[in-house]
Structure 1
Amino acid sequence: MPTRDSAPLGAPCWVDLQTSGVDRAAAFYDAMFGWTHETSGEEYGGYVMFFKDAKPVAGMMPGEPGNPYVDVWTTYLATADADATAKAVADSGGQVMMEPMTVPAAGRMAMFMDPSGGVVGAWQPAEHKGFGVMGEHGAPAWFELVSKNYDAALPFYRDVFGWNLESLSDTDEFRYTTGKFDDNVLAGIFDASTAMPAEVPSHWQMFVQVDNTDDAVAKLVELGGTVLRDPWDSEHGRMANVADPNGAQFMIVGPSAAG
């Protein structure tokens, strides 16, 4: 996918990380993916912007003391009206975790919990349009809700964010639905009700594109990251589940080992 100026409404448009170690995380992601970073002033809470080839790809902020929601990547979906989205969330069985707020000049944001327990953000862009590039080495490539209540998640994202849902698989062994936006499939919902331990909640995860998954995993380990699941081949590429040195999880995806 080429560079882009904006995201389709309802589609993933941004990710950011709440981290327990800003300096450690910044050094890791810069070395891991060739990112560079800039830190904003105090009026923005020390928010960090990551860039890949001078295009924005992700953000980061220090975790607040006492907040258990730390060392977690959050996915944001594009909206034209954060306040209207917040009302739709409440009307559709979700929970408004953070009321819409304005980030001066950049845009307007809010945080929600969907009916399956997944935490997701909404972003109404002003000057900050979101990702400047996707699907290239070192850039976000895919976003997925790993859901413990698949049947509740599907209508929520359809009704609140306008997803055009397409079932990829609907068997007892594997249920997966994708969200299509302007003819592009940009996100998925996986039925994890039987695939994850009961104590693991629904959650969004991001996938970062790499040229070679095994090489990327080896580099991650050298940089102090952790491999949570060794690389495996799928019909969508070779993947690995990993964590940065502070414990924030994400996925790596590259070409399959067979080519």
Structure 2
Amino acid sequence: MAPPPEGTPCWADAMFGDVEAAKSFYGEVLGWTFAEASSEYGGYTQAYADGKAVAAVVPPMPGQESPAQWCLYLASPDAAATAARIRDNGGEVLMEPMQVGDFGTMCLAREPGGAVFGVWQAGTHEGFEATAVPGAYCWAEFFTRTPERTDAFLTAVFPYTAQQLQDEAVDFRMFDAGSGTVLGRMRMTDDFPPEVPSYVNVYFTADDCDETVARAVKLGAVLRFGPMDSPFGRFAALSDPQGAAFSVIDVTTTAGEMPAVTDVT
């Protein structure tokens, strides 16, 4: 299978202080099963939906404990070249490109608006083995208070074209990697407490949004928004019991007409 086009979301993982609790939670909520932890790679543990690799969880390295959060990786044919463009366009490289066995090369970065994301140059691990099916990754958005900086950065680092949603209620932009729309950007409004930093919101597919939310809340998640109907699906935003933000969406349950968009690049 050929690697996805440059800039396409290709993998997601999260660091948890209590990996076993995370496995229990996401196993119940999204139906994930898990591989054996890899001691060679710091306890990195892949998650599967219906036998397909869809994400991973990992404990923090000693001395590097930080709040739990999901990290989205964007595909790159050359992680070192992407890291150089990140620096040249106002971003910060948090982890220099590092080869991970024969699996591929990764780096971590922060865009000018403050959201942290990953870059993945595929080796034997090409990324998601399934998307947009129950339990698998479906969509992601950069939430930022400085959309102009984030937009300019993303289109300079990756070969995106962009479209702006024609909606006075929200400031939302969509990015196309040549194979279709792959990523969104949402302006954070005053509804977000000032202490909430910019972040990448990762959506996982649910077969029933309301039932998935009910299971998550029963297991200690906090419902942040929704469930809400949209032309893209019925979705909700949550924080898991360890504080990692994520969303779920049922793409089979849609309502309303697709909004108009304007080409901006």
Q: TM-score, normalised by structure 2?
A: 0.90
Equivalenced residue count is: 255
Q: Partner of 1:214 in structure 2?
A: 210
The answer (yes or no) to whether the contact 2:109–2:116 under 8 Å persists in 1 is yes
The answer (yes or no) to whether the contact 2:160–2:178 under 8 Å persists in 1 is no
Q: Partner of 1:90 in structure 2?
A: 87
Q: How does 1:1-259 map to 2 (within 5 A)?
A: 6-67=3-64, 69-169=66-166, 171=168, 173-254=169-250, 255-256=252-253
The code of the aligned residue for 2:198 comes to S
- The range that moved more, 115-124 or 177-186, is 177-186
The answer (yes or no) to whether the contact 2:13–2:56 under 8 Å persists in 1 is yes
Q: Deviations over 1:56-98 (max 9, x none)?
A: 1001110235535331000110001111111100000001111
The answer (yes or no) to whether the contact 1:56–1:132 under 8 Å persists in 2 is yes
The answer (yes or no) to whether the contact 1:169–1:177 under 8 Å persists in 2 is no
The answer (yes or no) to whether the contact 1:149–1:193 under 8 Å persists in 2 is no
Q: Give the structure with the higher percent strand.
A: 1
2-structure distance, mates of 1:8, 1:19: 30
2-structure distance, mates of 1:70, 1:189: 23
The RMSD of aligned alpha carbons is 1.9
- The range that moved more, 29-38 or 142-151, is 29-38
Identity %, equivalent residues: 35
Q: Partner of 2:261 in structure 1?
A: none
The answer (yes or no) to whether the contact 1:243–1:249 under 8 Å persists in 2 is yes
The code of the aligned residue for 1:202 comes to S
What are the ranges of 5 or more consecutive residues in structure 1 without an aligned counterpart?
none
The answer (yes or no) to whether the contact 1:63–1:71 under 8 Å persists in 2 is no
- The range that moved more, 7-16 or 175-184, is 175-184
2-structure distance, mates of 1:41, 1:50: 12
2-structure distance, mates of 1:140, 1:13: 9
